């Protein structure tokens, strides 16, 4: 994707403030400090568009970026940050949940999970909801430069272990990320991509995934 133009469109605190119109939206969702700002900046070839924070949990608004006058990137508030108040946490859990469940323009979700940390309880909860709501999503396994081959297998196995009959597959090729002796039948599929803002690994694959989905919305515009 050639990025010609990126503009901050709006900062939203309430779902009533979401933009009207039919532009497809891609939401980016993950735990605070997972590397979401770094991923957004890498995808959009910008140094400081989304704030890489020294204060995790700071972004509590939904930030809309209009890309190439054609589609939105939606930066969702980071979840799972311990220091926020219970009430505040509840407020944006509800906001995120309602957005995912009801937003028609939502075309794809990039769910970020730290490949070094592995899936947290909150991550599993979010992933469970994404599949239950039948949303089109991929898991971006971030900070992949920090881990070696063995640890990559471990994070995939850990993710599969959180669900009943789940297989993590490469989001582009559809091939299982970890070979198994026995194939699992009727399994739920978790499409994933290893990503690193440091090396650029996975950037092209994520764009490819997004582009495939933008093509599917062309007739709507």
| Residues of the shown chain interacting with ligand GDP in the complex, contacts defined by CB under 6 A | 30, 32-38, 52-53, 56, 78, 142-143, 145-146, 196-198
Quote the tokens at residue 38. Answer: 């770094």
Q: Which residues contact 18 (CB under 8 A, 6 or more apart)?
A: 12, 62, 99, 103
* Contact status, residue 208 vs residue 200, Cβ threshold 8 Å: no
Q: How far is the CB of 182 from ligand GDP (least distance, A)?
A: 34
* Contact status, residue 28 vs residue 139, Cβ threshold 8 Å: no
Nearer to ligand GDP, 93 or 217 (CB): 93
* Contact status, residue 6 vs residue 67, Cβ threshold 8 Å: yes
Q: How far is the CB of 220 from ligand GDP (least distance, A)?
A: 30
Nearer to ligand GDP, 35 or 191 (CB): 35
Q: How far is the CB of 155 from ligand GDP (least distance, A)?
A: 14
Q: How far is the CB of 216 from ligand GDP (least distance, A)?
A: 28
Nearer to ligand GDP, 180 or 198 (CB): 198
- The alpha carbons of the chain give a radius of gyration, in whole angstroms, of 17
Q: How far is the CB of 90 from ligand GDP (least distance, A)?
A: 20
Nearer to ligand GDP, 62 or 214 (CB): 62
Query: Tokens 């990137």 belong to which residue?
Result: 73
Closest to 32 measured CA to CA, from 72, 78, 70, 71: 78
d(CA 93, CA 42): 26
Nearer to ligand GDP, 33 or 217 (CB): 33
């Amino acid at each position: 994707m050639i990025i010609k133009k990126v503009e901050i469109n709006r900062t939203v605190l309430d779902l009533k403030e979401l933009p009207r119109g039919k532009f497809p939206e891609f939401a980016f969702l993950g735990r605070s400090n997972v590397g979401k700002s770094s991923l957004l900046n890498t995808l959009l070839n910008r140094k400081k568009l989304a704030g890489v924070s020294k204060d995790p949990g700071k972004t509590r608004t939904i930030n809309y970026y209009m890309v190439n006058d054609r589609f939105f990137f939606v930066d969702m508030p980071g979840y799972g940050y311990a220091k926020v108040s219970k009430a505040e946490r509840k407020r944006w859990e509800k906001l995120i949940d309602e957005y995912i469940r009801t937003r028609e323009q939502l075309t794809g979700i990039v769910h970020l999970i730290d490949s070094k940390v592995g899936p947290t309880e909150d991550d599993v909860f979010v992933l469970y909801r994404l599949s239950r709501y039948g949303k089109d999503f991929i898991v971006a396994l971030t900070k992949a430069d920090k881990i070696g081959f063995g640890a990559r297998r471990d994070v995939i196995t850990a993710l599969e272990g959180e669900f009943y009959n789940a297989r993590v597959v490469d989001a582009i090729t559809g091939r299982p990320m970890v070979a198994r002796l026995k194939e699992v039948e009727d399994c739920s599929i978790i499409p994933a991509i290893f990503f690193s803002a440091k090396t650029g690994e996975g950037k092209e694959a994520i764009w490819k995934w997004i582009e495939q989905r933008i093509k599917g919305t062309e007739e709507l515009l």
